[in-house]
Amino acid sequence: MSTLRSIQALVRDVVQLAYFNVYRRYCGSFLGVGWSLLSPLATIGAYYLVFKIFFRVPIENFAIYLSAGLMPWLCLVNAVTATAVELPVQREVIENNIRSPIIYLFATVIAEWSFLVISYVALSLIVILAGLGTWKMLALPIFLLPLFVFTIASGTIAGYLGVHFRDIPHLLRIFFQAAFWFVPIVYHWSLVPPQLSAFIQYNPFSLLISPSQIILHGDAYPSFVLVLAGILLAVGWALVAVYVHRKFSRRIVYHL
């Protein structure tokens, strides 16, 4: 019973902190949370102009394909890079042992995912109005669960390591800038040379983001193999995050 109450308290604190995270970010602005849509829209528009208009990527309904892949990618990148610098910001609270450090990492990820949910709702409405979607889109949250778990785990690892190794945030930015081009977001994996297609199609980021593109753009369900691979990847990475939390959480205050 005490374990259940602890979990309930943890969830309540995470949700409250995530809410205040979002509130502080957009409080007083004219568009409010609308800015969370304009930022990815500007990025999507730039990539669409370059790859569809200039380079003429041969993908039908390219805007939907691009959006379905780019939105979860931006969520993942923003969440992980934000958690990498979150704990030093909360130094005073953590030093006073008011809350567990992991609560702040979870809240940061949840806040970024709330923006992703808003973006997905907008994109789904566009797909429906364009007559390109069916009831299969309702299953999208289920197939995004591995990505959610992976993001939570990545945020936890980045948050703790970012305290011990202050170069982590900078390294993450460089890593994600390079990794982006190995994920089939602005192109399809079938368009790359045969010797690279397997790596592009089955690297960890592709396995987690492809279900979004398959459902929203392809109007189909991801294959069982793809779903299973995503689940195994998420669970494995979550176990790594649990290990990192147990190793660093108790003495984290001495390194802030």
pLDDT score of 14: 82
pLDDT score of 36: 65
Higher-confidence residue: 122 or 149? Answer: 149
Backbone dihedral region of 169: left (phi > 0), alpha (psi from -120 to 50 degrees) or beta?
alpha
pLDDT score of 127: 86
Q: Which residue has the tokens 């939570």?
A: 152
pLDDT score of 202: 92
pLDDT score of 254: 67
Provide the pLDDT confidence category of residue 161 given band limits of 50, 70 and 90: very high
72-98 pLDDT, tens digit each: 999 999 999 999 999 888 877 777 766
**Is pLDDT at 247 greater than 70 in this prediction?**
yes
Provide the pLDDT confidence category of residue 11 given band limits of 50, 70 and 90: confident
- Tokens standing for 207? 């396995």
C-alpha distances (whole Å) from 236 to each of 103, 166, 188, 229 are 21, 25, 27, 11
Give the Cα separation of 139 and 211 in Å (integer). 10
97-106 pLDDT, tens digit each: 667 888 999 9
Give the Cα separation of 26 and 30 in Å (integer). 9
Give the Cα separation of 120 and 74 in Å (integer). 13
Question: 140 and 222 in contact (C-beta within 8 Å)?
Answer: no
Provide the pLDDT confidence category of residue 26 given band limits of 50, 70 and 90: low
**Arithmetic mean of pLDDT, 34-39:** 70
3-state DSSP assignment of residue 130: coil
List Cβ neighbours of 113 (8 Å cut-off, separation of 6 or more): 75, 79, 148, 151
Higher-confidence residue: 255 or 129? Answer: 129
Provide the pLDDT confidence category of residue 221 given band limits of 50, 70 and 90: very high
Higher-confidence residue: 18 or 211? Answer: 211
